[in-house]
Amino acid sequence: MMTLNQLFGTTLPVIQAPMAGVQGSALAVAVSNAGGLGSLPCALLSSDAVRKELAAIKAQTDKPFNVNFFSHVSPEPDVQRDAEWRTKLAPYYAEFGIDAGTIPAGPGRTPFSAEAAELLSEFKPAVVSFHFGLPSAELLARVRSWGAKIISTATTVEEARWLEMRGVDAIIAQGVEAGGHRGLFLSDDLSTQMGTFALLPQIVRAVNVPVIAAGGIADAKGVAAAMMLGAAGVQIGTAYLLCPEATTSQVHRAALKSASSHHTTVTNLFTGRPARAIVNRFIKEQGAINAAVPVFPLATSAITPLRAAAEGRGSGDFSPLWAGQNTSGCKEQAAAELTRELAFGL
């Protein structure tokens, strides 16, 4: 089997996890130049923004990098459900003096598309990764046309087998410790989600492509432990959140450095899909998993003005403070240095 470095053209089998909303090209460039695989998350970016970021990466590195997209199916807007949710949030809007009638019903996050594939073909990234399954076979073929390697996330053995059958080049085994969106796509039953220690070796045993470990890995010992369990490499997100190259907000950075970072939970409140974040006031008051939340990604619009207003007061009470269960690796240091530390011993 090819090593991950051979597959990607990297020198270190460390992938900086794509983290929409808290990083752009700067973090990806730093990690790729250090020998790892930097990632550009595109789920929250317009086509123009993607183009601008890809140009910035190309201008600053000739190393391989990864471009990440969500591959969900956009839902039909549901005006009634949206209205009911905003009614539930009315006391918060009142608290911050927000006129609920003025909040736009934005799309939240857009999935991978033919337009995105066309744009990517100009920049020919070495790796394209997906979350929530895969786009259509036709779109995948377009991505492959310039030789890009395709990877995606599995949170169960079944999902890993599903991805392998569709020809992915490597599979990210995302343990339940991981921060941000759970990649589950064959089931919405959260009890199927396993810890990295259980998930990783079972996926390694089930498939014949390289497996990348994600979830709870925060330092070189964690990387070594993942390799011991059969990983060909690792994908690490949380540890990069305090790097100067990340665009992590001040309230998010403050939360990561505080004791509150020790208590995260999987919540659907911020986007409609389960994602791991630090427990804050909004989660405590509305419950981490709330059945009234609009479906992904439509939930985003209702919370956006509350988040902005609270952050304006220096509060992360309504922000998605994405983080994994192991924040012990978060350090305010250059991403290149962090990447080399994580890969120490490899």
CB of 134 to a second copy, least distance (A): 22
**Pick from 17, 173, 225, 293: which binds a second copy (CB under 8 A)?**
225
Q: Check: CB of residue 154 under 8 Å from CB of residue 203.
A: yes
Q: Which residues pair with 40 in a beta bridge?
A: 67
**Pick from 186, 288, 292, 295: which binds a second copy (CB under 8 A)?**
288
Residue 287 backbone class (left: φ over 0; alpha: ψ -120 to 50; beta: rest): left
Report the C-alpha gap between 36 and 340 in whole angstroms.
Answer: 8
**Sheet of strand 275-278: strand arrangement:** 180-181, 275-278, 264-267
- Pick the closer one to a second copy by CB: 45 or 283: 283
Residue with tokens 């192991």, as numbered in its chain = 326
DSSP secondary structure of 10-65: -SS-EEEPP-TTT--HHHHHHHHHTTSBEEEE-TT--HHHHHHHHHHHHHH--S-E
Contacts of 208 (CB under 8 A, 6+ apart): 1, 164
Q: Is 328 in the site for a second copy (CB under 8 A)?
A: yes
**Pick from 202, 260, 290, 315: which binds a second copy (CB under 8 A)?**
202
- Pick the closer one to a second copy by CB: 124 or 281: 281
- Pick the closer one to a second copy by CB: 19 or 223: 223
**Pick from 78, 98, 201, 334: which binds a second copy (CB under 8 A)?**
201
- Pick the closer one to a second copy by CB: 139 or 204: 204
Q: Is 219 in the site for a second copy (CB under 8 A)?
A: yes
Q: Is 311 helix (H, G, I), strand (E, B) or coil?
A: helix
Residues 125-184 binding a second copy (CB under 8 A) are 156-157, 175-177
Residues 45-74 binding a second copy (CB under 8 A) are none
- Pick the closer one to a second copy by CB: 117 or 278: 278
Q: How far is CA 62 from the centre of its chain?
A: 24
- Pick the closer one to a second copy by CB: 211 or 298: 211
Q: Is 100 in the site for a second copy (CB under 8 A)?
A: no
- Pick the closer one to a second copy by CB: 29 or 194: 194
Q: For a second copy, how many residues bind (rule: CB under 8 A)? A: 40
Over its C-alpha atoms, the chain yields an Rg (Å, rounded) of: 19
- Pick the closer one to a second copy by CB: 206 or 295: 206
- Pick the closer one to a second copy by CB: 60 or 328: 328
Report the C-alpha gap between 244 and 331 in whole angstroms.
Answer: 10
Residues 305-324 binding a second copy (CB under 8 A) are 324
Please give the angle made by the CA atoms of 117, 123 and 126, to the nearest 5 degrees: 85
Please give the angle made by the CA atoms of 151, 344 and 248, to the nearest 5 degrees: 60
Q: Is 192 in the site for a second copy (CB under 8 A)?
A: yes
CB of 230 to a second copy, least distance (A): 7
In 184-218, which positions are buried (b, 16+ CB within 10 angstroms) versus exposed (e)?
Answer: bbeeeeeebbbebeebbbebbebbebbbbbbbbbb
CB of 188 to a second copy, least distance (A): 14
CB of 195 to a second copy, least distance (A): 3
DSSP-based helix, strand, coil % in the chain, nearest 5? 40, 15, 45
Report the C-alpha gap between 202 and 176 in whole angstroms.
Answer: 14
Q: Is 216 in the site for a second copy (CB under 8 A)?
A: yes
CB of 179 to a second copy, least distance (A): 10
Which residues form the interface with a second copy (CB under 8 A)?
A: 156-157, 175-177, 191-192, 194-199, 201-202, 205, 215-219, 221-222, 224-226, 228-230, 262-266, 279, 288, 324-326, 328
